[in-house]
Amino acid sequence: MKFRKIYIIFFVGLLIIGYFALNRKKEPEQGTEGTQRTEATQAAIPPAPVPGFDSLKALADVKTQVAFGTREPNSKGHSKEVDFLNKQLLACTPSVELQTFTSPGYKPNETLNLTNVIASFNPSATYRILIVTHFDSRPWADEDPDTANRNKPIPAANDGGSGTAVMLEMARQMKDHPPPIGVDLFFDDGEDYGKYSVDNLDRYFLGVKYFVNTKSANFNPRFAILLDMVGDKNALFQPEGYSIQSGQSFVNEVWNTATSLGLSHFKSTKGPQISDDHLPLIQAGIPSVDIIDGLLVGHEAPEADRKYWHTLDDLPKHLSAETLGEVGRLLLTLIYDRIPRDIPSL
C-alpha cells in the first residue's frame, strides 16, 4: 500500500506538472509570436550605397533663396520661396504636400497665410524618419546692433536658408538613389514669427504646431532630425539638451556617425538647451534631435563675425559649402547606411 500510495501521488503530480507545463508553453508561444512580429517590423534593413552630396549646389540654393528677398509670412519673397520649394521637390518625388493654414498676426486683424511643404520618399516603408527645417525669415531683426533695423525682416541665409538648402540637395540625391528607409522632408513655415517678450513661445514654431495638431494618427515617424543654422563657416554642432532628454540613443547615433566620418564641425560635448522647432514634435511623442549651431543663439559665440543671429547681417557671406556638405553627408550616411543596420537598437 505504501508504494501504491506513492505511485498514485507521483502519477497525480505528473498530471499536474504536465497541465501547467502545457499552459505555460502555450503562453510563451503567443508571446514569442508577438516578439517575432516586433522583430520583423524592426529588423535590420540591408544598407545601401551612400550617394554623394553636392555642397556647392546647396550653397547656391542658399543664395537663390536670399535673392527672393526676405521670406517672412505674407511677403513676396515668402510666396516665391513656397513656389520654389514646390517645383524643386516635385522634380524629385510625386509625393509632395502643401499644407496651407492661417494664424493671427500681431497687428490688429492681421492674418498670416502660411504653408508647410512636405516631400516623401519610399512612402511604403513602415520605418520612417522625419527631417525638418524652417524656411521663413524672422520679421524683426530684433538683435541688430542698429536700433533703426530692428523692425526689418532678416535675410535668413543661415537661419532658414541653410537647412532648406541641405534638404533640397538631399531630395535630389534621393530621387536618383531611393533610400532604404522611409524619409519625409518637412519644410515648415512660421518658425521664427514670435515675440518672446510679448507671449513667450506662443507664436513661434507655427508650422510644426499645425503639423502635429493635424497629422494622421497613422503617421508616426520613429524619430525626427531638425536642422537649424547649419551653414556657418565656423559652425559648432553639439548634442542639444532637449534632444538628449527626448532620445539619447538617437543623439548617440547622429554624433557617433559624425565622429566616424571625421566631421570637423561636430563635437560630442554637451551643448545648451535650446527652444526650437523640435519641442512640439517631442511633446507629440516624436523623439527629436536638433542639429543646431547653438552658440549663435544669443550671440554666445566668441568670434565677432558669428554675432549675426536675428540681425540684417545673416547673409551668405558667413556660410560655407564645406559646412553644408558635412551636414548633408551625415544625413545621407544615416539614412542609407547607419540607420538601416541599427534599426533593432533604435
pLDDT tens for the 346 residues of the chain, in order: 323 333 333 443 444 434 334 333 322 233 323 333 333 456 889 999 999 999 999 999 999 999 999 999 999 999 999 999 999 999 999 999 999 999 999 999 999 999 999 999 999 999 999 999 999 999 999 999 999 999 999 999 999 999 999 999 999 999 999 999 999 999 999 999 999 999 999 999 999 999 999 999 999 999 999 999 999 999 999 999 999 999 999 999 999 999 999 999 999 999 999 999 999 999 999 999 999 999 999 999 999 999 999 999 999 999 999 999 999 999 999 999 999 999 999 9
If we measure between CA atoms, which residue out of 185, 167, 163 comes closest to residue 276? 163
At position 119, the amino acid (one-letter code) is A
Grid coordinates of 108: 490688429
**Helix residue ranges, H only, the chain:** 2-42, 55-67, 76-90, 161-176, 196-199, 206-214, 241-246, 248-261, 278-283, 321-333, 339-342
> In the chain, what is the straight-line distance between the N-terminal and C-terminal CA atoms, in Å?
64
Whole-prediction pTM value?
Answer: 0.88
